[in-house]
Homo-oligomer: A and B are copies of this chain.
């Protein structure tokens, strides 16, 4: 087996662009797109603002790269859930855990944050935000429909309605839990939302 012509650098686990994306994403999820600056990111990473511009020439492009990566990671996470679990109830439980993990880092779902700031976002970011919500909604609708047919779920209205209620409820619970400093209320709300899908009363 010949040695690869170009091996991954062993020195560092992530490249500078990756670290920029990570830091800027965290700031976007905690402070919003309008609530952080290139200076914030540069200072935290330990490079100059000019170097930051070398990797992401404009803030709009940096923001677009982050929400695109986020949407892709979520889509991958949904696929991983589908690959790992069969039962709809278990897949939905895993889905709510994705939100809980974000909230436990004191972050808001990036989609929710950018939904609030939507009117001020550059158009490419707006487009990806909408795509993000469509992806989530369609996946939920699909899982709920599957669960209903399998007899594990019995939501009151249509699958579309149930998907909307669950997505809205989780995003809203996340939104409110942070300022109220009450992460537990998110878990309680998420449980109640899932229970509403199963209940036969």
Binding site for B on A (CB under 8 A): 30-32, 34-35, 108, 112-120, 126, 129-130, 133-134, 154, 156-157, 161-162, 164-165, 167-173, 175-176, 178-180, 185, 188-189, 192-193, 195-196, 199-201
Contacts and interface: CB of A to CB of B under 8 A. Distances in A.
> What is the interface of chain A mostly: helix, strand, loop, or mixed?
helix
Given A167-B176, A171-B175, 4 more contacts: A31-B120, A126-B179, A134-B180, A157-B195
A161 B199 CA distance: 15
B189 A168 contact: yes
A145 to B, nearest CB: 16
B173 A118 contact: no
Contacts of A195: 156-157
Contacts of A178: 115, 118
Contacts of A116: 32, 108, 112-113, 116-117, 175
Task: Give the copy number.
Answer: 2
Most-contacted residue by chain B among A115, A154, A156 (CB, 10 A) = A115
Nearest to A172: B172
A169 B165 contact: yes
Contact of A162 (B161, B165, B192, B199): B192
A139 to B, nearest CB: 15
A141 to B, nearest CB: 12
